[in-house]
Amino acid sequence: MTPEDSSATNATQVHDGYDLETGLLARLREWIDVFPWLRLIRILRVVGSPPLLGLVALTLAAWKIGITLLTLDQITSDVPAMASTANQQVNFFIEYVQHLNPASVFRHDSGIVWWKTLLGICWSVFIWTPVVILLLRQGGLLTAGRPLMPLSAALSLSMSRTPAGWLVAVVPLGCVSVFSVLIMTIGWVSGLAGEIIWLNVLLAIATLLFAIPCGLLAFGANVAIPLGWGALANEREPDAMDSLSRGYEYLFRRPLHLAVYLVFGAIIASVVSVLAIGVTKTTIEINSQLLKFVEATDGMVITSTYLLDHLPVVVLLTAIWSLLGGIYLLLRYDAGGQEVEDLWQADACPELPLPSIPGQATDSKS
């Protein structure tokens, strides 16, 4: 055997080793590939952003002023005492945001006439939509591993898509209203027909044909509208109807995935609430003691305490809406297979259009 044949034989007998970067192991290089909901932990960065917290605080103040002018005193009750248990902390937050739910217009409250409640809901949707779209965008970017957008660019993006966001919130209410009118029309016909058993049975069956989709639309709107806003914030083409259909699709096609993401998001929000309430308690105590030490007026102490009491609400609103932006991207992957990292991002320096050639401009005029 020649030396050349021996070296060739040894080369073929050398083991190349196992390729661990193929197959399933390639997807196990990071924990987020196994547990995609761990991506939501990245969103905690938003609670450390003073510009975002300041924007939410200003929006909350404007919202409360508008609600107060509408004399909805029941909604703008004083801030409850700081809670110590987990259940009380959850109730502390729910008490502030439950009236932002569009479905609350159907709740009966003898102290508030229905049209004032409707105005309050319209005002809530009007004032919160641009801020919510901004937070959903920031949450989506963090979930995809991208940096936060500058506040000016994020505001420009959210304001340009706010009209579509208003439409997303109005369309379900309009559809529910149409079905409601049809149901009332059938009931009116039943009243004119009188006690005719066979006719009432047919009319009752006809009522079900409208009541069931009405219920699906009304119930699904509680989830479809926020997810629709998430689509508007994170998709390249901001189409209102497509965004709303995505919201309903993700709710009814992936309910278990949605439930898992919401549970994990609730855990993150609970941790944020504990930290926010603890920081607020300490801040209030230090601030009150220092103001009393220098003999500040009681009005100043009470006002500063009242303003600081809203800090947990601001932090939680910022965190929760940002979390929903990340949850939208996770549901988009579960429903359509589009990777979370495949997120549209506007060009920081868009290309300017090429200047026209003077000769071509002259020819076009002629």
8-52 pLDDT, tens digit per residue, is 555 555 445 444 444 444 544 566 666 777 888 888 888 888 999
Question: For the chain, which residues make up each domain, given as ranges?
Answer: 36-339
Distance CA 327, CA 230 (A): 9
What does the DSSP 8-state code read for residue 81? Answer: P
Residue-by-residue DSSP string for 48-59: G-HHHHHHHHHH
Tokens read off for 61: 């103040």
**What average pLDDT does the segment 267-287 reach?**
91
77, pLDDT greater than 90? no
pLDDT tens digits, residue range 206-250?
888 899 999 999 999 999 999 999 999 998 888 899 999 999 999
Distance CA 297, CA 307 (A): 16
Whole-model pTM?
0.75
**What average pLDDT does the segment 110-136 reach?**
82
At 205, the amino acid letter reads I
Find out whether 251 and 349 touch, Cβ atoms under 8 Å.
Answer: no
Find out whether 182 and 210 touch, Cβ atoms under 8 Å.
Answer: yes
**What average pLDDT does the segment 143-154 reach?**
88
What does the DSSP 8-state code read for residue 131? Answer: H
Distance CA 64, CA 61 (A): 5
Highest mean pLDDT among 101-115, 190-204, 308-322, 327-341: 308-322
**What is the model's pLDDT at position 166?**
94
Which residues are CB-neighbours of 4 under 8 A, at least 6 positions away? none
What's the longest Cα–Cα distance across the chain?
110
Distance linking the first and last C-alpha atoms of the chain? 87
